[in-house]
Chains A and B, each alone.
Chain A
Amino acid sequence: MIEATNLSKRFGETVALDGLSFTSRNGRIVGLLGPNGAGKTTALRILYGLLKADSGAVTIDGSDVESNKLEARRKIGALPDIQGLYPRLTARENIYYFGRLHGIDEKTLKRRTGKLIEQFDMGSIADRSAQGFSHGERMKTSLARALVHDPPNVLLDEPTNGLDVPSVRALRQVISNLRSDGRSVIFSSHVMQEVAALCDDIVIVARGKAVAVGSPDDIRRQAGCEDLEEAFVRLAGPEAGSAL
């Protein structure tokens, strides 16, 4: 479970986050939905503990991200917006590397990695160096790398960006499996349909604030219209429409 309370963050003159709050519970998927530049990536980076919020707090399964950074990081698995694989390592070695940094013993590591490779259908690329991977292959490898320590909370920053249709469908299946495992999942997107298809809760972010929070039905009710996309545009403001 992740609780973000009243997060604010400025970069010089630019206000990236302006009092954003949301909660993600175990066994549920939260979608951070907003146009480009709304502050989604900044919010996620504060959750991983890479950026420090100017004000506000984040707790991950009860551990404060700022005061207990390492403990909080053990409980999350994250897919950042740039996946950053090591091109000279194979997919398997990339996964092993992060697993070892988490202190997983070799036997468990081999077993879990093997399972993830099978689950993500990565058998043919597992022992190839990441140098020539396609976007989808990089995505799968990064995701496996983020899950190798079996984290109770999973954060995905625009995971579907640039993926072809079969990969998006496979990814959706993976995300919903994560929910049935009882994990809390947060993923960000600027595509309404994607969020609507998967999420239990939607947080619409615009200009660093949560402009609407709730289930897809709640959102429709708040916006006063049946069409979710129309609701998103109404709630996020005019610039959200142009970003679509």
Chain B
Amino acid sequence: MQNGDPHIGMEDETYTDINGKAISLECQSHSGFCREFTVSSAKVSIGRVMVYTCAVWLSAYTIFFFTENTAVLSGAIIVTLVGMMVHIHFVKVDHETLLVIGSLGVQVSSSYASGRESTDFIEMDKIKDIVINEAIHMQRVIYYLCILLKDPTDPEGVSSVVPLFQSSKPRLNCLIKVYKSCQEILAKC
């Protein structure tokens, strides 16, 4: 056990998500019972923002050229601004963090590009297990990590499944690493 060493998992191994984009996994071990996994995907690239903005403005200008209605141009500006804000506030996730604290619970949080964070905590006595599962996702079959929640009425049963790292969608090698670490902690409590 590498207690006390805060950065056990700065990996040499490179991870990608299911679309082949590079992501990074950071494992922090706060103590033997507490580990934090952060999956970070690439930041919003200026290039892509420019491309989308230009596309909207060019099409708006084309329409303006034929209709000569200036409302189109102001509309385009509003669309790009609102679109970008919605994107960084609700869609684009920069980091997803999974904090496992033995005997206490699991905290799942994702921080959006705008800085907004959404956090969820699941108590340990509600958690049955953390497993890697397979699912059909958009014409593909992928692996994902999920938390199985206990069914309060039936101790053997599972009431629902909480998928983890939903927006970064790491590939199997990354999931296995997180899974093994989590299981080490779950086995101890």
Asked whether A and B interact, the reply is no
Binding site for B on A (CB under 8 A): none
